[in-house]
Structure 1
Amino acid sequence: MKFTHCMIDLETMGTAPNAPVVAIGAVYFDPNTGEQGETFDAAIDVEDALRYGRVSGSTLKWWLGQGDAARQKVVRGRHPAQLVFEKFHEFCRKHGDDIHPWGNGSSFDISILEYAFGRILEKQAPWKFWNVRDCRTIKELADGVVSFTGKLEGVAHTALDDAKHQANWVSVYWQGLRRLTPIKTEVGTPTTASDDLLDI
């Protein structure tokens, strides 16, 4: 089966676009059915990761406060960043050039990856910018319409486990929202701007 949607989750040592990436987890999925496909799971040697980004003190403190399992996952990497990003670039091209990458936040995972592809590989990200999708937006849209009660399977703050979990709840929200009856307005009905909008 050809998948065009790919859920991506990163473990990083910061929150800015230049944050060092220490792990990448991803899973292809079909939001229309919830079916999941091939996965990507790779950890980068922390020392090598730091060559390509800037550590955030607050993020480092946050990691120190996590459980042993999550911390061990973060420091497990033995591979150089260049190798991992090359393999991930290939993974993102697996089903063609029309991938729809999802990240949990409009300016976190995807923005960090786009910076890192250029910095580490001197390559463009393997997707079209207009295909980028955001988990938090669909979650807010689904609030009060459809709920998700599934539990995370695996270890929280582990890239692949988080990616699979996010693919699960995005699929539930996607299907629930697409079953809604569209709101119809009469043809020719004028729309007016709110009185408190600035005239700019």
Structure 2
Amino acid sequence: MRNIMVDLETIGTAPGSAILSIGACVFNQSDKDNGPFVFSKNIDLLDSIFEGLTVDPKTTKWWSEQSVDAVRLLTKNPVSLKGALNTFASFLRKEDCLWAKGPDFDMVLLKAAYDIVNIKVPWSFRLMRDVRTILALAEEVSGEKPSPNTFDRFVKHFALHDAQLQRLQVITAGHILGIDLEEMS
């Protein structure tokens, strides 16, 4: 079983909102750097609207206030919504354990997109894990937030970078808690 960290960038916060980017990375407890197992697709906004996803004006305004780097990375080489979702489904294995911060946002919006375009959801609800829960437990045990010293490498609000950072946070939390993430999967 693989652990996969998933992050989305969206143009709304409700299920059915347009997804701008899907980022994901495979990880295990001993990871120091990401290997070749990463996924990153930017999605064409007009195609998402055509497929029936929606745009929230407040989130659009919020995006206008984000860094130039984040917006630049987000708009690079967009693909169709169905193309991104099918490619992501091919990236996943049936037994993968999916982590998100939190699954009640990223995974719910991602599931809604799969449902809207009539593609079978490629993961089991039983194999979803919450980043916030393991971080809170580690903070309770250690008295400190599990924060790897790598923030300068990442562009905030770029889905792949956020997934990579969250992966490092979960690995750090796992070490603090003395748990083997592979056994949790």
The normalised TM-score by structure 2 is 0.86
Give the structure 1 partner of residue 119 of structure 2. 123
Is the aligned partner of 1:112 residue 2:109? yes
Q: Work out the CA distance in 2 between the residues paired with 1:117 and 1:178.
A: 36
CA contact (8 A) 1:23 1:77 kept: no
Give the structure 2 partner of residue 40 of structure 1. 39
Q: Work out the CA distance in 1 between the residues paired with 2:136 and 2:17.
A: 26
Give the structure 1 partner of residue 182 of structure 2. none
From 125, 133, 136, give the equivalent of 1:137. Answer: 133
CA contact (8 A) 2:148 2:172 kept: no
The 5 Å alignment of 1:1-200 reads: 4-30=2-28, 32-34=29-31, 36-37=34-35, 38-51=37-50, 52-93=52-93, 97-120=94-117, 122-146=118-142, 147-152=146-151, 153-178=153-178
CA contact (8 A) 1:9 1:104 kept: yes
Q: Percent identity?
A: 31
Greater RCO, 1 or 2 (C-alpha within 8 Å, sep 6+): 2
Q: Which ranges in structure 1 are unaligned for 5 or more consecutive residues?
A: 180-200
User: Deviation at 1:129?
Assistant: 0.6
User: Deviation at 1:149?
Assistant: 3.8
CA contact (8 A) 1:11 1:158 kept: yes
The normalised TM-score by structure 1 is 0.80
RMSD across aligned C-alpha pairs, in angstroms? 1.6
